Amino acid sequence: MADKIKMLTPLVEMDGDEMTRIIWKMIKEILINPYVELNTEYYDLGLEYREKTKDQVTIDAANATKKYGVAVKCATITPNAERVKEYNLTQMWKSPNGTIRAILDGTVFRTPIVVKGITPFIPTWKKPITIARHAYGDVYKNVEMTVGENCKAELVVTAPDGTETRETIHNFDGAGIIQGQHNTDKSIASFARACFNYALDQKQDLWFATKDTISKKYDHRFKDIFSEIYGKEYEERFNKAKIEYFYTLIDDAVARVVRSDGGYIWACKNYDGDVMSDMVATAFGSLAMMTSVLVSPEGIFEYEAAHGTVQRHYYRHLKGEKTSTNSVATLFAWTGALRKRGELDKTPDLITFADKLEKATIQTIEEGVMTGDLVSLSSLENKKTVDTETFLREINDRLVKLL
């Protein structure tokens, strides 16, 4: 066998939880280690080690990503009350994705992986729709309070000279709730530039929508910053590339998206992107058939799967049952990261390897070999369901021929 492909710079590897942690190990053993001399800096973001390090490992992993420029992340548990009991946690640790996004800033791009035989639930969609999700601020960095009866809630901003600006939120007769959100011009501007650059790179139109008619200062600021940056820095380049930037209200955008044939990038505020990417992924087939990458303003890339840790499959796996869990999104996180590492290090072998591994994966599904979630979606006549490991071995059979 030929020499293994070398990696010049370490890739930041963030391991995770449950079924995706099992898949993670299998992908490395079956599809990567035999061909690549894997050079990673390993961080264990599994919940047990997060607890042990008081979540410092998540912060360290994010900082390592800043240092090296490319990371690949496995799905991780975001603890809730049940998980606190299950894992005996001393605290309800924050979502690792939230922590990492807050440190790296940036925008998450999610694109469905389209394969023959799986047609979108929305029949007009012919081409993938990429969701560009702003990954900083708003409700994900909010401050919330419950308010007792007969209380007055105010927004107060204190200037450096001590001057206060106040705005009444509400005079409460009965009990209630309030929430404070923020974003920064800097983060919104880098979100805008990330989207404009990605649109030019992909040669696709860019749509952006908010609720600026209701949120006349907050959402309107997003609209204004996008429009200013577009006019100053991008309009000419868009014209040259024959692509379009288009702003509309979020409700109008939803209606247009459903009627469209796809093939564009839809920029969404943080929460809209969270919700809409699940909708788009499901309509295209499955969350397990979606790529996801966080791009920071400094050009740092973190690749991940869009789905969770597939908990129910994991419990079946623990009982010794064979599962048929779809590993495509996790595998494409690896190929995305290896390809980007190859681009940055100028190692074409690594890029070619990533391309071929993706090709082998799609070929496997298009030849009718797939996991249970896809079998019910695929219109192919001859198809068979395989278990988690067999699916990866079938990919390897095809990869060997391509290499």
What is the contact surface with ligand NAP in residues (CB under 6 A)?
75-78, 97, 287-288, 304, 307-312, 325-326, 373
- Give the closest residue to 263 by CA, choosing from 215, 200, 206: 206
CB of 253 to ligand NAP, least distance (A): 24
Residue 205 vs 387, nearer CB to ligand NAP:
387
217 alpha-carbon distance from chain centroid: 28
List residues near Mg ion by CB under 5 A.
Answer: 274, 278
CB of 193 to ligand NAP, least distance (A): 25
Residue 209 vs 287, nearer CB to ligand NAP:
287
- Give the closest residue to 103 by CA, choosing from 162, 44, 152, 62: 62
Residue 325 vs 335, nearer CB to ligand NAP:
325
Residue 69 vs 137, nearer CB to Mg ion:
137
Residue 278 vs 366, nearer CB to Mg ion:
278
Residue 82 vs 164, nearer CB to ligand NAP:
82
The structure tokens listed for 288 are 């397990």
Residue 193 vs 307, nearer CB to ligand NAP:
307
Residue 4 vs 316, nearer CB to ligand NAP:
316
Q: Which contiguous run of DSSP H or E holds residue 266?
A: strand 264-268
Q: Are the beta carbons of 181 and 139 closer than 8 angstroms?
A: yes
Task: Answer with the entry of ligand NAP, Mg ion, none that 297 interacts with (C-beta below 5 to 8 A by kind).
Answer: none
CB of 319 to ligand NAP, least distance (A): 14
CB of 308 to ligand NAP, least distance (A): 2
Q: Which amino acid is at 293?
A: V
Q: How far apart are CA 247 and CA 249, in angstroms?
A: 7
- Cβ density class 107-138: b for 16+ within 10 Å, e for less: bbbbbbbbbebbbbebeebeebbbbbbbbbbb
CB of 119 to ligand NAP, least distance (A): 19
The answer to whether the Cα torsion of 94, 99, 100, 102 is positive or negative is: positive
Task: Answer with the entry of ligand NAP, Mg ion, none that 58 interacts with (C-beta below 5 to 8 A by kind).
Answer: none
Residue nearest to ligand NAP (CB): 308
Continuous H helices in 230-310: 235-241, 250-259, 270-284
Q: How many CA atoms are closer than 13 Å to the CA of 388, on its beta-carbon side?
A: 25
- Cβ density class 282-294: b for 16+ within 10 Å, e for less: eebbbbbbbbbbb
Task: Answer with the entry of ligand NAP, Mg ion, none that 248 interacts with (C-beta below 5 to 8 A by kind).
Answer: none
**What is the rounded (10 degree) CA torsion for 46, 52, 55, 61?**
-60
Task: Answer with the entry of Mg ion, ligand NAP, none that 287 interacts with (C-beta below 5 to 8 A by kind).
Answer: ligand NAP
Task: Answer with the entry of Mg ion, ligand NAP, none that 14 interacts with (C-beta below 5 to 8 A by kind).
Answer: none
Task: Answer with the entry of Mg ion, ligand NAP, none that 274 interacts with (C-beta below 5 to 8 A by kind).
Answer: Mg ion
CB of 236 to Mg ion, least distance (A): 36
Task: Answer with the entry of Mg ion, ligand NAP, none that 288 interacts with (C-beta below 5 to 8 A by kind).
Answer: ligand NAP
Distance between start and end Cα atoms, the chain: 11
Task: Answer with the entry of Mg ion, ligand NAP, none that 44 interacts with (C-beta below 5 to 8 A by kind).
Answer: none
Cβ–Cβ contacts within 10 Å for residue 318, how many?
A: 11
CB of 335 to ligand NAP, least distance (A): 16
CB of 202 to Mg ion, least distance (A): 23
Residue 138 vs 278, nearer CB to Mg ion:
278
Task: Answer with the entry of ligand NAP, Mg ion, none that 308 interacts with (C-beta below 5 to 8 A by kind).
Answer: ligand NAP
Radius of gyration over alpha carbons of the chain, in Å?
Answer: 23
Q: Which amino acid is at 364?
A: T
Task: Answer with the entry of Mg ion, ligand NAP, none that 307 interacts with (C-beta below 5 to 8 A by kind).
Answer: ligand NAP
Residue 98 vs 263, nearer CB to Mg ion:
98
Cβ–Cβ contacts within 10 Å for residue 226, how many?
A: 24
- Beta strands (DSSP E) in 6-64 are 11-15, 40-44
CB of 292 to ligand NAP, least distance (A): 8
Q: Which amino acid is at 345?
A: D
CB of 84 to ligand NAP, least distance (A): 12
Cβ–Cβ contacts within 10 Å for residue 28, how many?
A: 17
